[in-house]
Amino acid sequence: MPPARADHASRREDVSAAVWQVLAEHGFGGLTLRAVATAMGASTGLVTHYFAGKRELIAHALDILETRTTHRPRRAVPAPGLPALRTHVLNILPLTPDAAAMNRIWLGSWDVALSDPDLFAAQAARYERIRESLRECVADAQELGQLPAGEPDHVASTVLSFTHGLVVQALFDPARFTAQRQTELTDGFLATLAVGR
Amino acid sequence: MPPARADHASRREDVSAAVWQVLAEHGFGGLTLRAVATAMGASTGLVTHYFAGKRELIAHALDILETRTTHRPRRAVPAPGLPALRTHVLNILPLTPDAAAMNRIWLGSWDVALSDPDLFAAQAARYERIRESLRECVADAQELGQLPAGEPDHVASTVLSFTHGLVVQALFDPARFTAQRQTELTDGFLATLAVGR
């Protein structure tokens, strides 16, 4: 029997929380209707009221990921140019347990996204939007004399490369890549970019 | 009926080729006994002679990935120090269709590896081995006066960050990140590290 409408919204939040928990622990490979039901302490039947199948479940997982990423706590940008660039990078890195869980789920989503044309396009567009933000910071930093002249898009792509790759290393080796070490590596990298200005 | 022993080795190669094809097209999320059977034009029953289930199939997929990565064609190191560092980076990047397929499968494997303690440890050890190779190049480059003094491990981690992150961007946007652009970004990044020596 489908849940009553009044229960529906709060139940849907429970479902979303359970989906998130399954993803953080088992990744997309472990995301099944049964795993979500277990995480909720509910029956698989209840979960099927929300998702017809695996594809709908994955789509909902990606919606939650996008929403949580958009609304995640972020450091405020202290000043334009290089400080803003630094803040953008630190806001992506897994410096807290929550940020690590979110990055873990992003990494897990790549397997799915690389095989689905719509998700692939959405992901490509997402990275272009991030580079666009970084390009603005780079252009500001160049104008302010904080970075040497050069193609902002080139620098933005290099900064996003550094950031994504540090996420990967940090997720697979959190003991070696503590928040402090990630921050030091970021500051060292940005200082390198600034040399020669 | 299980295949005769004489057929077994060549059939096993067919199975491996089919597993690789499924991974390149559909990722780990699409890796099922049925998909492998379809790729081989065989029955699911035949594939179950080789793999008891999904877990064995994934383990085999990761074995193939490791073997193919080890034996992939690589550029020879032209000279120690910075040229060697550049070669290591280019040998990882998706500069050819084969290298792109391999990187696509590596990215896809992260979702599985992040949820399985053994695979996680293997992946962490793998990245530490890559950093070790990069550290040697960095130390040589510093001795040769090609890179400024500094902690080689710090530089190696930064170089691997750049490399992994460029792989991710290039896989999701191959039109924007052509082989030529990836190479230019790598050369620009390495030139930045060398400034101030």
Rounded to the nearest angstrom, the minimum Cα separation between B186 and chain A is 8
Rounded to the nearest angstrom, the minimum Cα separation between A158 and chain B is 7
What pLDDT sits at residue B5? 59
pLDDT at A54 over 90: no
Listed by number, the residues of chain A in 7-46 with a beta carbon closer than 8 Å to a beta carbon of chain B are 25-30
- B151 pLDDT band, cuts 50/70/90, is very high
Is the CB of B188 inside 8 Å of chain A's CB atoms? yes
What pLDDT sits at residue B133? 96
- A42 pLDDT band, cuts 50/70/90, is very high
pLDDT at A196 over 90: no
Residue A169 CB partners (closer than 8 Å, separation 6+)? A177, B127, B157, B160, B161, B164
What pLDDT sits at residue B10? 82
Is the CB of A169 inside 8 Å of chain B's CB atoms? yes
> Is B161 within 8 Å of A185 when comparing Cβ atoms?
yes
Rounded to the nearest angstrom, the minimum Cα separation between A46 and chain B is 24
What pLDDT sits at residue A96? 96
Domains of chain B, first to last: 5-69 (1.10.10.60), 74-194 (1.10.357.10)
**For B111-142, what is each residue's pLDDT tens digit?**
999 999 988 999 999 999 999 999 999 999 99
pLDDT at A2 over 70: no
What is the average per-residue pLDDT within A163-180?
A: 98
User: Which chain A positions have a beta carbon within 8 Å of B109's beta carbon?
Assistant: 111
